[in-house]
Amino acid sequence: MPRDSLHLSAGSITSETFSNCFSKNQVFSDQIDLVSPSDQVKFSFKDFFCPNLKIYNLHVFDLITLDFINTFVHNDSISCITKNQQPCSEDIFCVLSTGYLVLSLTSATYYKLGLDGVKIKSSQNKFLVQVNLKDRSIAAGSKFYNRLKWCFDSSRCNLQCDVVFSVYEKQYLSKLVEHFSQFKSQIVEANFDNVRSFSKLETPILSCNETSGNSTSVSFSSFYEWIGALCCGIVLPSIVTTVSSCITPSPCCQLNISHTSLGVLLHNDSIKSFLTFLSSAISDRNIAWAAVVFHGCTNSPILSLNHPHLDEFGCFPSLTFVIFPNHTYWIGRCVSD
């Protein structure tokens, strides 16, 4: 049985290393938990994220039209993923901001489709197919594009699902609505109003320069366990009914803790911009730290990928950042060995 392990790294928000975390691939996140020893972190976040657009019964063929590719894919403005599908037993697909269309397909759909793919090792009957929508061969009249259209034609495959789109700039939201005007759609606003506060909670003492822990600050692994228990105690009350059942860190102190949960699909550039914005915000308000947990979409096809066009952060289901006022960050990823 694979075991989960914690991978930790640290650096500066202003460094190229941080920028590269999000510049080359899509880190899908459909829920954020924001925890901080201050309720001031909730300011203006509602206006920071662009709303999502949910399109009902969208066929994958509509994502490979030249009009869609030229308007949205080539300028890295959108990403999208199927919604309410079962990843182990149903067909799922997404479009990354890199321009890749990634599909996780059942064997029945895969063999009917006729495109090259690879068998997913963790599944007995699923295959992974990737199409680079930015490739030069995606052009009117090309043999490859004509074959692609033939494979994805609705008369041959029933790849039709509800799809959620994430945009980096609001101008593309109205363009998406117009582009898919013939479909039933719903604009999903980001909502950071779900704030819960806890008085005098035993809270870890952190030092941005000490990740392994000492007598005056906790290790990142201890903090990771604490924040995981805290979030589970709030989000899953049937499992952990009280916040007081959280792991007690050492050393610690009693602080008033604010927790905010947000359900929204994020474009990778939105995640990067949000963390940069958060770093400046806590610096301006003299807040000791802020922790952000990005929960990855469990139905994302990219969880099965391990290819060169994805960097090391692309294949993990969740990321936990701790942001400090001096623009330092910690990042932790819980992965299976």
pLDDT at 41 over 80: no
Which CA distances in Å does 315 have to 101, 283, 289, 297, 336? 16, 31, 27, 11, 11
Q: Is the pLDDT of residue 304 over 60?
A: no
Q: And the tokens for 291?
A: 């922790």
Judged against a pLDDT cut of 50, whether residue 309 lies above it is answered with: no
The Cα 29–Cα 319 span in angstroms is 9
Average pLDDT over residues 97-111: 87
Q: Rg of the chain's alpha carbons, rounded to an integer?
A: 21
Mean pLDDT of the chain: 77
From residue 192, alpha-carbon distances to 81, 270, 295 in Å are 22, 15, 16
> What does the pLDDT read at residue 236?
36
In single-letter form, the type of residue at position 39 comes to: D
Q: What is the pLDDT of residues 218-262, one digit of tens each?
A: 888 888 888 877 877 643 333 334 444 455 677 888 888 888 877
Q: Can you tell me which residue has the tokens 């290790």?
A: 219
What's the pLDDT band for 73 if we cut at 50, 70, 90?
very high
In angstroms, rounded to a whole number, what is the distance separating the alpha carbons of residues 93 and 130? 10
Say whether pLDDT at 131 is over 90.
yes
CA separation (Å) from 213 to 133, 218, 221, 324? Answer: 46, 4, 9, 16
| Helix, strand, coil % in the chain, rounded to nearest 5 | 30, 30, 40
pTM of the model: 0.74
Handedness of CA 212, 215, 216, 218 (dihedral sign): positive
**3-17, 86-100, 141-155: least confidently modelled range:** 3-17
What confidence tens digit (pLDDT) does each residue in 171-187 have? 888 999 999 999 999 98
* Tokens (6 digits) for 197: 């506060």
* pLDDT (0 to 100) of residue 192: 62
Indicate the pairing of strand 92-95 with strand 100-106: antiparallel
pLDDT reported for residue 118: 83
pLDDT at 25 over 70: no
Q: What confidence category does residue 329 fall into, taking pLDDT thresholds of 50, 70 and 90?
A: confident
What percent of the chain stands above pLDDT 70?
A: 73
